Chain A
Amino acid sequence: MSQESTASTAPRKSLFTPFNVVAGVIVLVGLVITFLRFTKGIGAVTNLDDNNPWGIWISFDLLCGVALAAGGYTTSAACYLFGLKRYHSAVRPAILTAFLGYALVVFALHYDVGRPWRLTYPIFLSQGTTSLLFEVGLCVFLYLTVLFIEWLPAACEWLRLDKLRKVLVKLTLVLTIFGVVLSTLHQSSLGALYLIAPSKVHPLWYSPYLALFFFVSSMFAGMSMVLFEGTLAHRNFHELMDETHLEEAPGVVTGFAKACSVVMCGYLIMKMFGLALENKWHYLATGYGVLFLVELIGFVALPAYLYAIGARERNRTLIRFTAVWTVLGIVFNRFNVSLVAFNWQLPSADRYFPSWMEIAISLFVVTVGVLAYRFICTRMPIFYEHPDYKESH
């Protein structure tokens, strides 16, 4: 079935690559579950219940999605605000992934909230300004718009809309600053969402500094994701990259590795301070403590060290491995806060575990993202500078 549908859409050769077949199957399954979700209700496809109102669609699609899309603001800030011009060729791919990432976050939310057609209510109809979720919603909405405008020049070059492009390029600085402000706000607010539930989140993960933790970790999450995508892109789109991109890439890799290492050390110290200030050391001797230490030592301290070595020895293989490791660590952390530590006091029978259909929808969302990324990269000037627009920025 999947083969038929893919075969009919594009009559080119070799469509049945393993990637396409797997992606086709996932998309098909996703569509079936989508149908179920909107005809039978959230309860029919998820394991959510009254004690566990948020599952992996929030933990993975929202929390991880937003953190890992942080590459957009970190890269453009490095290039345009910190004056690191050698990162210029990394900006476009990073902006594109961030844009797609946020678009997918919003897309995924349509499955999770009860009445998705009301998702703009908090912005236009009834503003619940005391809610941190309001802040998240508003910032994500605005930032998605910013990312869209930041990405538009690429589309303009593709469609040859020179005038529009000129106007947009002039906005770069303002958009970059606006993007950093919005990112600071909503990256941190995602952590602050849990501030309201001190009785439900395990003390090792609950902290008055949750907002700070989420913000700081989003920085190295975003940069690691840029590194990770770089690896994938170099494997798959190498022929699309121009000389500038290929020349600048190694510099970007070591530069980001160094930055990640520094930020991760800072994060580690902050986490330690968090424990010390509230004197929570004794929790470390419990099962949750082991998990906490695995997260902190295995997925923060270790990669921070590896990044430092990688940057010093210019070992790009090591850096790329570390990037993957860090990305996994971020996923681990977000899952810990929102699923493992959340409702930790409930008896295990009342705890949440995702249904296979929830996982399938998350996979579906990621697949849609990868397909969109491929579509855009193979058509628009992302990895190379358009020859006609080379000198114009």
Chain B
Amino acid sequence: MSIKRRTFLGLIGAAGVTVASTGARAAGNAHFDGYPGSKGVLFDATRCIGCRKCEAACNAVNELPAPAEKFDDLTVLDRSRRTDAKTFTVVNKYETPSGGPVYRKMQCNHCLEPACASACFVKAFAKTPEGAVSYDASVCVGCRYCMIACPFNIPTYEYDEPLSPRVRKCTMCRPRILEGRLPGCVEACPKEALTFGTRDELIKIARKRIEKYPDRYLDHIYGEREMGGTSWLYISGVPFSQIGLREDLGYASAPELTSGALAAVPVVAGLWPALLGGLWAINKRKEKIARQEKREAVENAVARASAEAESKLSAALSKAEVENRRRIEVEVKRALEEAGLNDTKEEG
């Protein structure tokens, strides 16, 4: 009994270890604040003029195919666009109730605890120490779960590629950063709407701007905590929901959302076999008992039957004997009687 109990506790312990080692960081209260010194970009919506220079630069540095409309064609701003397999960043125009259009650049936000990375079942995505979330096409299966998972709808897919489609998204120009250069879009921005630096610095810069111009900015840095925090940060003069940044995402990171379900795995794997095995054993025993009872019942029945049969037989035999004897007696009697009769006749 006590040994069983120990095995059981052991299973629970093993389960705990497995949870801890799955890398689902959020299983406990641990919160990942990003690699120290990791880089990011701050976007200032009050400075962006929607010139699309960043789009052009991004296209050039990433050697993407030329788009249908030229980058100096600003009429594309009249419709809402998103990233696609040939476009890592787009600037959208938003008409706001407070008057005047506001522009916002959209690209991968390089989350601190990326949903895409947490969702990928071959670890194709990784949060690099430099800050960029990288993607490795050489292991990608193309399940597109990363696209389901990303709360910002960023990853895109090469649907028209029959044999070697890849997921495509902004790289934060990681190759350039490693060379000590600025991301293409940051370098190209004529209005300094994009600022590159370590994430900690950027948050300080953003705070300072908000403090200095309280009328110009809302007191909120988008990305500081959203979805566990992102490396691309935003400040704006209008509510973020008006420039296409959802404010209902919450502060929980993606791994936190799934840690419960993941933690259940070892528990199920550990407890189920024990429970089911026990159930089986109980039923087996029940069956055995049932079978035994049945056998006993049959045996009893047989015994009873045979006893009955025996007694019947002996009864029959004795009856037969009696009858036989009777018959003999009767015969004898009759014979005697006949003889006697004759005797008496003769006598008489």
Evaluate contact between B248 and A196: CB separation under 8 angstroms.
no
Interface string of A199-216 (1 = CB under 8 A from B): 110000000100100000
Evaluate contact between A122 and B121: CB separation under 8 angstroms.
yes
Q: How far is the CB of A241 from chain B (nearest CB, A)?
A: 26
Contacts of B121 in A (CB 8 A): 122, 127-128, 131, 133-134, 137
Partner of B23, one of A40, A48, A113, A129: A129
Q: Does B190 contact A (CB under 8 A)?
A: no
Partner of A51, one of B82, B124, B283: B82
Q: Does A135 contact B (CB under 8 A)?
A: yes
Segment from A23-31, A180-188, A314-322, A357-365 that makes contact with B: A180-188
Evaluate contact between A54 and B164: CB separation under 8 angstroms.
no
Q: Does A19 contact B (CB under 8 A)?
A: no
Q: Does A272 contact B (CB under 8 A)?
A: no
Chain B positions 151-182 with a Cβ under 8 Å from a chain A Cβ: 151, 153, 155-166
Q: Which residue of A lies closest to B286 (CB)?
A: A83
The count of chain B contact residues (Cβ–Cβ below 8 Å) is 65
Evaluate contact between A185 and B141: CB separation under 8 angstroms.
no
Evaluate contact between B153 and A130: CB separation under 8 angstroms.
no
Evaluate contact between B165 and A41: CB separation under 8 angstroms.
yes
Evaluate contact between A114 and B284: CB separation under 8 angstroms.
no
Evaluate contact between A185 and B268: CB separation under 8 angstroms.
yes
Q: Does A14 contact B (CB under 8 A)?
A: no
Evaluate contact between A43 and B272: CB separation under 8 angstroms.
no
Q: Does A168 contact B (CB under 8 A)?
A: no
C-alpha spacing A87/B120, complex, angstroms: 41
C-alpha spacing A173/B279, complex, angstroms: 12
Q: How far is the CB of A337 from chain B (nearest CB, A)?
A: 12
The count of chain A contact residues (Cβ–Cβ below 8 Å) is 63
Q: How far is the CB of B108 from chain A (nearest CB, A)?
A: 13
C-alpha spacing A378/B272, complex, angstroms: 36
Q: Does B60 contact A (CB under 8 A)?
A: no
Evaluate contact between A198 and B257: CB separation under 8 angstroms.
yes
Q: How far is the CB of B26 from chain A (nearest CB, A)?
A: 10
Q: Which residue of B lies closest to A180 (CB)?
A: B276
Q: Which residue of A lies closest to B167 (CB)?
A: A114
Interface string of B139-155 (1 = CB under 8 A from A): 11111110111010101
Partner of B276, one of A177, A188, A196, A198: A177
Evaluate contact between B272 and A126: CB separation under 8 angstroms.
no
Evaluate contact between B269 and A185: CB separation under 8 angstroms.
yes
With A115-B140, A121-B141 as known contacts, state yes or no: A135 contacts B265, CB within 8 Å.
yes
Segment from A74-82, A219-227, A243-251, A278-286 that makes contact with B: A74-82
Q: Does A89 contact B (CB under 8 A)?
A: no
With A54-B144, A83-B283, A181-B272 as known contacts, state yes or no: A131 contacts B250, CB within 8 Å.
no
Interface string of A103-143 (1 = CB under 8 A from B): 00000000011111011011001111111111101000000
Q: Which residue of B lies closest to A201 (CB)?
A: B148
C-alpha spacing A158/B158, complex, angstroms: 47
With A130-B22, A131-B121 as known contacts, state yes or no: A81 contacts B279, CB within 8 Å.
yes
Evaluate contact between A196 and B262: CB separation under 8 angstroms.
no
C-alpha spacing A199/B83, complex, angstroms: 19
Evaluate contact between B261 and A195: CB separation under 8 angstroms.
yes
Q: Does A42 contact B (CB under 8 A)?
A: yes
C-alpha spacing A194/B148, complex, angstroms: 8
Partner of A39, one of B158, B162, B248, B260: B162
Contacts of A135 in B (CB 8 A): 262, 265
Q: How far is the CB of A226 from chain B (nearest CB, A)?
A: 20
Q: How far is the CB of A173 from chain B (nearest CB, A)?
A: 6
Evaluate contact between B139 and A121: CB separation under 8 angstroms.
yes
Evaluate contact between B257 and A133: CB separation under 8 angstroms.
no
With A54-B148, A211-B261 as known contacts, state yes or no: A114 contacts B165, CB within 8 Å.
yes
Q: Which residue of A lies closest to B273 (CB)?
A: A177
Evaluate contact between B162 and A115: CB separation under 8 angstroms.
no
Partner of B122, one of A38, A41, A125: A125
Evaluate contact between A50 and B161: CB separation under 8 angstroms.
no
Q: Does A53 contact B (CB under 8 A)?
A: yes
Q: How far is the CB of A352 from chain B (nearest CB, A)?
A: 12
Q: Which residue of B lies closest to A37 (CB)?
A: B162
Q: How far is the CB of B137 from chain A (nearest CB, A)?
A: 9
C-alpha spacing A49/B121, complex, angstroms: 21
Q: Does A189 contact B (CB under 8 A)?
A: yes
Evaluate contact between B119 and A50: CB separation under 8 angstroms.
no
C-alpha spacing A218/B254, complex, angstroms: 26
Q: How far is the CB of B161 from chain A (nearest CB, A)?
A: 6
Q: How far is the CB of A120 from chain B (nearest CB, A)?
A: 9
C-alpha spacing A382/B119, complex, angstroms: 40
With A42-B159, A50-B147, A128-B122 as known contacts, state yes or no: A80 contacts B165, CB within 8 Å.
no
Evaluate contact between B165 and A127: CB separation under 8 angstroms.
no
Q: How far is the CB of A119 from chain B (nearest CB, A)?
A: 6
Q: How far is the CB of B156 from chain A (nearest CB, A)?
A: 4
Q: Which residue of A lies closest to B156 (CB)?
A: A50
With A181-B272, A196-B257 as known contacts, state yes or no: A49 contacts B142, CB within 8 Å.
no
Residues in chain B within 8 A of chain A (CB atoms): 22-24, 82-85, 115, 117-124, 139-145, 147-149, 151, 153, 155-166, 246, 248-250, 254-255, 257-258, 260-262, 264-265, 268-269, 272-273, 276-277, 279-280, 283-284, 286-287
Chosen A-B contacts, 5 in total, with CB atoms closer than 8 Å, are A41-B159, A115-B141, A196-B257, A198-B257, A199-B249
* The 5 A-B residue pairs with the shortest CB-CB distance in the complex, in nearest-first order: A114-B142, A83-B283, A43-B159, A53-B144, A134-B121
Residues in chain A within 8 A of chain B (CB atoms): 37-44, 46, 48-51, 53-54, 77, 80-83, 85, 112-116, 118-119, 121-122, 125-135, 137, 173, 176-178, 180-181, 184-185, 188-189, 192-200, 208, 211
Contacts A126-B139, A198-B257, A211-B261 known; 7 new A-B pairs at CB < 8 A: A42-B159, A50-B157, A114-B158, A126-B124, A129-B22, A180-B272, A196-B118
